[in-house]
Amino acid sequence: MPRRKFDVRRHCPVELPNGRTVRITFINHPGAVLIVPFLNKDLIVMMRQFRPALKKYIYELPAGTLEADEPPSTCARRELLEETGFKAGRLVKLGAIYPVPGYSTEVIHIFKAGRLTAAGAQPEDYEVIELIPMNKSTVRRLLVKGKLMDAKSICALVFCGWL
pTM above 0.85, yes or no: yes
pLDDT tens digits, residue range 20-71?
Answer: 999 999 999 999 999 999 999 999 999 999 999 999 999 999 999 999 999 9
CATH of span 30-159? 3.90.79.10
CA atoms of 43 and 55, how far apart (whole Å): 28
Task: Give me the residues paired with residue 22 across strands.
Answer: 14
